[in-house]
Amino acid sequence: MGRLAGKAALVVGAGNRGNMAQEIARRFVAEGATVAVAGRKMGELERFAGEMGGTALPCDLTDRTQVFAMADAAKAALGGIDIAVNATGWGLLKGFLDHDEADVDAMTALQFKGPFYFLQAMVGVMATDLGGRGGSIIQISSATATIMLNDHAAYMGTKAGTDHVVRCVANEFGSVGIRANSISPGLTDTPMNADAKEVPGLFEAFRAGYPLGRWGTSEDIAAAAVFLASDECFMTGENLQVNGGLTLRRNPSREEIAASVQKATQA
């Protein structure tokens, strides 16, 4: 029997092949859960859902109506929701003074308002006093919600704000059977970072910040998600730093990154 046998899970943000959300969904299925995946790219979602024997649902997280419709559709398809993961994100890298109104609005819509709606919808489905059966809500955050990285202010600020909302949900709704936690990866080998990985020396600039000597993988995050989703977990309102000890140290400075890239380019 898997650790999630008999559980029904919803994973949002699985619309890109091989991304973190897909790895989490895959691991949930391997642990015995029935899984629905959601996002904006229905072609890839339907392909992936077919591959793992799950359900694909449309949802633009920035649209509150769509988020609540997704919750209802997932509940109908799965017979309830025991586990809900939001793994959406946009890795905007831009100087603080260069952020315009459109940047800030887009980042806030995707990484603060959207997760807020997601949390509201999942509480509505899971709360035992509303007819649900309780469950675990997991928000994918970032180490940079805690430690600094240049040219990442809007991303960092919205992730940090959502972490605090997760704590609010944990505090208010634990009595109706809901656990809510965040997971904070550091630099992770995912499709979102594919272009950065192609820059010689860029990933290597970060390695010194990791006491465990390597950057993270989606498998690392999926393993943590399984624990938070399982009945073994007696934890709520926490932010798991699943990043090899990065938050004990720091990300490299802009100058250190430039030096590493230059060195790799000239090698």
* Residue 266 contacts residue 220 (beta carbons within 8 Å): no
What are the φ/ψ torsions at residue 61 (nearest 5 degrees)? Answer: -60, -20
Three-state secondary-structure class, residue 195: helix
Distance CA 56, CA 211 (A): 38
Distance CA 72, CA 59 (A): 12
Six token digits for residue 33:
């859960």
Catalytic residue among 28, 112, 116, 155: 155
CA 1 to chain centre: 26
Distance CA 9, CA 245 (A): 29
* Residue 158 contacts residue 107 (beta carbons within 8 Å): yes
Q: What residues contact residue 22 under an 8 Å CB cut-off, 6+ apart?
A: 14, 16, 37, 48, 218
Q: Is 210 noted as a catalytic residue in this protein?
A: no
- Residues facing residue 139 across a β-bridge: 86, 182
* Residue 185 contacts residue 220 (beta carbons within 8 Å): yes
Q: Which residue has the tokens 């642990």?
A: 31
Q: Residue 77's closest CA among 93, 55, 59?
A: 55
Which positions are catalytic?
A: 155
